[in-house]
Chains A and B, each alone.
Chain A
Amino acid sequence: MRLELVPRASVSPIARALSPVIAIVLAGLMAGLVIALMGRSPMAAFDIYIREPLGDSWALQEMGIKMIPLTLIATGLVYCFRANLWNIGAEGQYTMGAIVGAILPLATQGMELGRWLLVIALIMGAIGGAVYALIPSYLRVRLGVSEILSSLMLVYIAQLFLDYLVRGPWRDPKGFNFPQSVMFDTGSTLPILFEEGRLHAGLILAVVVVLASTVVLGWSLFGYAIKVIGSAPKAAGFSGFSASRISLMVFAISGGLAGLAGIVEVSGQIGQLKPSISAGYGFTAITVAFLGRLHPLGVVFGAFVVSLTAIGGENAQIMLKLPLDLTTCFQGFLLLCVLAADALTSSSIRVVRTPKKEA
């Protein structure tokens, strides 16, 4: 006996719209089951994971802080994924963005230069990420190297490079030998939005990026070209769109936004370089992009769900003594459920009974 996926002749738009909701509910049930198996009450966990963070302004701000990098990176990934290009290396572009963006703030540290330094730092971060993303893209366009592998492997190079910097040339001499740089001057840190909070101005950047991307992907010729290239490369050639140029452009955008996320996180949140500047944002953003069905507005929703579980996970660790890894686990469930729900809205399952084999 085996299972087969049979494409459905027609897919109702309602099913399409509902499928992520169903996926979230299913992932929730699966997580509940695991929690029950660990001997905790799933109801209490639900309370702590979902309800409490939503009613608490501190938790809401923390969620916003996590949503900023996730949204920026995932929106960039939407460009690539729509063109059928698989940039798996956003984590590396994020790290490179943080490194390149930090060059000036670290070099001028102590001089207390003005706000313009921050603007340059952000631009340099975006450029750093973009250039780093162009490496796998160029290799693909020129030599046909799979962008999936090369972009992924560049993640480790970027991370180890950061590690080297903060242990070597950029280490804070007064930092008790901790692998970290000096703190940025206030001039080069992103301002805080609300007094007595931690939510920073990166939020505004994220909103602008999401809105601009909605317009670009939905109504511009460039967005149209991305869609054509992703679904029918030969028609793209007929249309006059150059596949290599678009491929380089979407990687640059994707890497640029990941790099921007990196420097935003460092200058808005952390205030210095250290090996742990990312909580795996570059990888989680892949889940977020798919949760958002490759649409910038959907990405905001995806980032919200993922951040909620992350904050909830921290609470649950404290209050229920549940391991933090459970959150990663839940995010895994979530991605699987979303992909499965996608597959099952466009195809149906059927059971094929194979007769006993003679040979």
Chain B
Amino acid sequence: MEADETSTVAGDSEKQTQMLASIEAGLAADSAQNSGLLVQMTGITKRFGSFTANDSINLGVERGQIHALLGENGAGKSTLMKILNGLLRPDEGEIVWNGEAVQFESPQDAAKLGISMVFQHFSLFENMSVLDNIAVALPGSIRQNGFNLGRLSKRIEEVGEAYGLALSPHRPVYSLSAGERQRIEIIRALLRDPKLLVLDEPTSVLTPQEADALFVTLEQLAQKGCGLLYISHKLDEVQRLCSKATILRGGKLVGECDPRKEDVRSLAAMMVGSHVPEVRSPALHKIGDVRLEVEALTLPAPDPHAKSLNHIMLSVHGGEVLGIAGIAGNGQSELFAALSGETLAPQARTILIDTMPVGQLDIESRRALGAAFIPEQRLGHGAVPGMALSDNLVLSRHGTDRLDRYGMVNFRRARRLSDDVISKFDVRISGKNPVASSLSGGNLQKFVVGREILARPGVLVVDQPTWGVDAGAAVAIRQALINLAAQGAAVLVISQDLDELFSISDRMAVLHEGSLSAALPTGQVTRETIGLMMAGSEVDDAA
């Protein structure tokens, strides 16, 4: 049994087919047939204090099945998957694997059976390379026979290429965008020869192209008999990929269905329990003066792995949403950092907020001028994982909300303001003032977005505003962005979700290889032109 697990890395096989063959060999060793029940969870209950995150849930996955797990933010999806992965222990219920009751003391136990998981929030070592991050997570059995880092590094490149998940093995993780980190997690899971692969919102930060490539891979895995559990808020993906769906709401099982036989609206309604609205275009409002302007911003890459920014020109008027499309890793984080002041521009006049030169000012001074920023990564950048929500409110608003009195923080007021964010943005929490890391992904995103929007900024720069939020909440966030603009703010949205950009932006530009195209009115561009520009082709006359 151990021997055939090693074949993936040890073998000198070339590409995808060989790798899948070895996965098949692993499966064949376990059972001859490619169908039948692989795992059954019965009556799973998990409580956090008095809060019940999973309430006697049943879930079965068959070999070769791609099974969707759906539900709004905080429904309990990640919790259930962490139980299946041995990361959390259920209070009640049992797990039957291949007909045998099993109990997981740790993720290693689950890994031994062939359960592999791609987490919603990455678990990577920032200061280590891609290669090291993958190597440490491989089971010991793979690491023994004929293993060496050189081969693994080649293997990562091959697999990445074959699956359309390009990665250079020697880059340090801290220099990677969320999309690239997601690729590491996926490749890491694939290299472990899974018999059951759990993917918790794998596509929320992938580009459409990457997602497409991933779907092909997943379908092939399923054909070979691997069971897949797939969590996503993108229902069209689910319909395309999955033959069965289990739906959770408020920690309870509320339904099962074949997503291909439902339409998107009815699926969404099942998840939310009511009808999901659409983004309403704002009331007619005036487009005002330019409030955010970038004048020929050129920034060398801070380290060899980052992107340099070349001669970026843009302007956002009050009352307007400017969308910046582009595939992650084309300079988005660098542009965000330059706009926020986390990296300073070479000259003050390169960046203007309400005609004030701010290129040399730090983030707090820019906030003092009425700007607000929402970074892409919510855990660790936009919020401190181990701190309570009210303490996290202080993070970005200590200078502007009278929270700082003679150097003392008014934590009472912070608590009030944070409760305000929680109620206005419908952040679902367990407990009164929980730590950020205990929130479900989508709910923390709502909190971080709400925190900045309720600061009533005149200029808002946001990177991936709806990463991992459910359909209902995504609409709410987009609506809030539009409304903010309608009140006269300049809103700049960096996103790789074209649907999102088309539904909220007044003008759109594309960031490619650190260069920004001219911005065009949304009505004058098509998905095709934007798609081509994102892929790097010169489109001079897009209209």
Contact = CB atoms under 8 A, between A and B. Distances in A.
A234 B375 CA distance: 11
Contact of B404 (A221, A234, A238, A350): A221
Contact of B411 (A219, A231, A234, A352): A219
B409 interface: yes
Contacts of B382: 235, 238
Interface stretch (B19-27, B319-327, B383-391, B498-506): B383-391
30 contacts: A10-B48, A10-B49, A219-B408, A219-B411, A220-B408, A221-B404, A222-B407, A224-B394, A224-B409, A227-B387, A228-B387, A228-B395, A231-B384, A231-B385, A231-B386, A234-B377, A234-B380, A235-B384, A235-B395, A238-B340, A238-B342, A238-B395, A239-B364, A240-B362, A240-B363, A240-B364, A240-B367, A242-B362, A358-B2, A359-B145
A238 B373 contact: yes
Nearest to B410: A219
B106 A6 contact: yes
Contacts, number: 76
A253 B345 CA distance: 32
A237 interface: yes
Interface string B407-427: 111010000000000000000
Contacts of A227: 384, 387
- A-B complex: 8 closest residue pairs judged by Cβ atoms: A240-B364, A232-B384, A234-B381, A6-B106, A240-B363, A239-B395, A235-B384, A232-B380
Contacts of B394: 224
A6 to B, nearest CB: 5
B380 A235 contact: yes
A112 interface: no
Contacts of B108: 4, 352
A238 B381 contact: yes
B399 interface: yes
B240 to A, nearest CB: 35
Nearest to A351: B105
Interface string A202-245: 00000000000000000111101001100110110111101000
B140 to A, nearest CB: 8
Nearest to A355: B2
B144 interface: yes
A359 B2 CA distance: 12
Contacts of A231: 384-387
Nearest to B398: A221
Nearest to A227: B387
Contacts of A1: none
A232 B396 CA distance: 14
B89 interface: yes
A221 B395 contact: no
A9 interface: yes
A228 B384 contact: yes
B336 to A, nearest CB: 10
B409 A221 contact: yes
Contacts of B411: 219
A350 B105 contact: yes
B211 interface: no
Nearest to A242: B362
